[in-house]
Amino acid sequence: MIKKTESPEAADAPHREECYTCRRAKQNCLCGSAKPFATRMRFVILMHTKEAHKQRTGTARLARLCLTNAELLTGKDFSNNERVNALLHDPVYSPYVLYPGPQAVNFKTLGSAPLQDGKTLLVFVVDGTWRGARSLLNKSRNILALPRLSFAGSYLSQFKIKKQPKEHCVSTIEAIYYLYKEAEAAGYEKPNAQAEILMSIFKEMVDTQLSYENGKGKRRTARPGL
């Protein structure tokens, strides 16, 4: 009688268990590192469908875990999205899309209106590859029509496991962090040490991935979901 041997796939089965919240392998789950904090701004992260289905090292889900005043929606075209349009038509909000461009404002050029009119800044953050994010923005006519919000400063991405298409490109979680810090400096957000959790959990994710790429852990082929 020939003894049945276990297939490599079966042997790796435990490593394939996935956290359905952060979408990482369970043994590398980062949910426990997320310490949610409140922001005055409201964030709506619009994640491209391809990013949602294929990306395991994306940062949008981690950002959502850290922010109590945020939500994440998935799609390719949000022109007729009921939730998005309800938020856009809610008079309590002053909506912007976080995206660079020659007409983009920042917290130094924005002026005092958002600070004095009693409205809450509603910031839409487009998540995906550079090409995917641009496609999502161009298809979503309601978001494309919004005034753009960007940074006053220049930042370099610390996403060491990915090559950015341009120097000014940063990951979603970095973009939210830098925007928060500039809003804090402008007096729109109150100083909050908890905001550092955004960069802390981001660095933890990057360091974990780097450790596997440097051969300190199991082969990446045996560790899907990282």
Task: Write the pLDDT tens digit of every residue in 78-119.
Answer: 999 999 999 999 999 999 999 998 899 999 888 655 565 788
Task: Write the pLDDT tens digit of every residue in 40-92.
Answer: 999 999 999 987 666 555 789 889 998 999 999 999 999 999 999 999 999 99
Contacts of 78 (CB under 8 A, 6+ apart): 46, 84, 136, 140, 142, 143
DSSP-assigned letters across all residues of 128-150? S-HHHHHHHHHH-HHHHTSPEE-
Report pLDDT for 147.
94
Residue type, 71: E
Structure tokens at 76: 């390719």
What are the residue ranges of helices labelled H in 89-171? 113-116, 130-139, 141-144
37-151+161-222 in CATH: which number?
3.40.1280
Taking CA 111 as the corner, what is the angle to CA 110 and CA 115, rounded to the nearest 5 degrees? 100
Closest-CA residue to 38 (of 203, 194, 175): 194
Report pLDDT for 224.
27
